[in-house]
Amino acid sequence: MRVDAGIIGGSGFYEFFELENKEEKAIETPFGTVNVILGTLKEKKIAFVSRHGKGHKLPPHRVNYRANAFVFFKLGARYVIATNAVGSLRKDIPPGSLVIPDQVIDFTKSRVYTFFDGDFEIVFPDGRKKCGVVHTDVTEPYCNNLRKKILKAAEQIGIKVHDGGTYVCTEGPRFETPAEIRFFAMIGGDLVGMTGVPEVFLFKELEICYATICIVTNYAAGLQDRVSHEEVLKLFDRVRPKVIELIKKTIELL
């Protein structure tokens, strides 16, 4: 079974009802089993994975990022579009904004960051193999080709998005302190979230074209009085239809 593209749904995005001929399968990977919803959209075969599982069961530091990424490799996906709920470090990127980041800063602490731990071997469709110690170039962490497709889709359907931005990934599950947020802003961060890493780097290792749509759900700590997960989900509910339309149009353009 092969698919044309994949979708990873983050916080507040646990289903993708627009898929036709849907079926749910538990697919085995070397890193664990992943529940995948398979279907069609715009005559393309699509695989959807909920990053946190149904009902948001997994906190950011316990997500099986390697299994989630590898299942798309196993299914032959050339493109993967993700969503991330994020906080804004900038007053000119208010809640409700959509940002297509182009850089990332990693402040996570305890996650498994690579497939290449010295033993694992990846065999690509063209017969190439990667194994042992592999140092992956991440000058361009997000696939610029897919980023351009998302930006073009937004333009065609009249949705405003921010082109570029630096995503700062923290360990979670707690929110950040105001002092941390001030520091992240000083070093060039624009957005803060808990799930962008190692996901972005794993797809880079797998040579799958990956990009994310960041949904700004709140200002980060210190830029507003308090931050709550309920607030995040409430705003995401309001923005979700726009995100779905953007994903659908992007897949049409692939």
Mean pLDDT of the chain: 93
- Is the pLDDT reported for residue 52 higher than 70? yes
Among candidate residues 109, 239, 236, 234, the one with its CA nearest the CA of residue 174: 109
**Tokens in use for 69?**
């990424």
Please state, in angstroms and rounded to a whole number, the distance separating the CA atoms of residues 86 and 170.
Answer: 11
CA distances from 85 to 30, 31, 88, 187 (A): 28, 25, 10, 21
pLDDT tens for residues 61-90? 999 999 999 999 999 999 999 999 999 999
Among candidate residues 245, 250, 242, 232, the one with its CA nearest the CA of residue 10: 232
Residue type, 119: D
User: By the 8 A CB rule, do 173 and 83 touch?
Assistant: no
Count up the domains in the chain and report the number: 1
Domain range holding 164?
A: 5-253
Residue in the structure block whose two tokens are 């089993």: 33
3-state helix vs strand vs coil in the chain, percent to 5? 25, 30, 40
pTM for this predicted structure: 0.95
Please state, in angstroms and rounded to a whole number, the distance separating the CA atoms of residues 45 and 77.
Answer: 9
Beta strands at 79-88 and 5-9: parallel, antiparallel or unpaired: parallel
What pLDDT, on the 0 to 100 scale, is given for residue 169? 98
What pLDDT, on the 0 to 100 scale, is given for residue 227? 63
Among candidate residues 183, 198, 184, 219, the one with its CA nearest the CA of residue 86: 219
Please state, in angstroms and rounded to a whole number, the distance separating the CA atoms of residues 195 and 200.
Answer: 9
Beta strands at 79-88 and 209-219: parallel, antiparallel or unpaired: parallel
- Is the pLDDT reported for residue 101 higher than 70? yes
Q: What is the CATH number of the domain that holds 34?
A: 3.40.50.1580
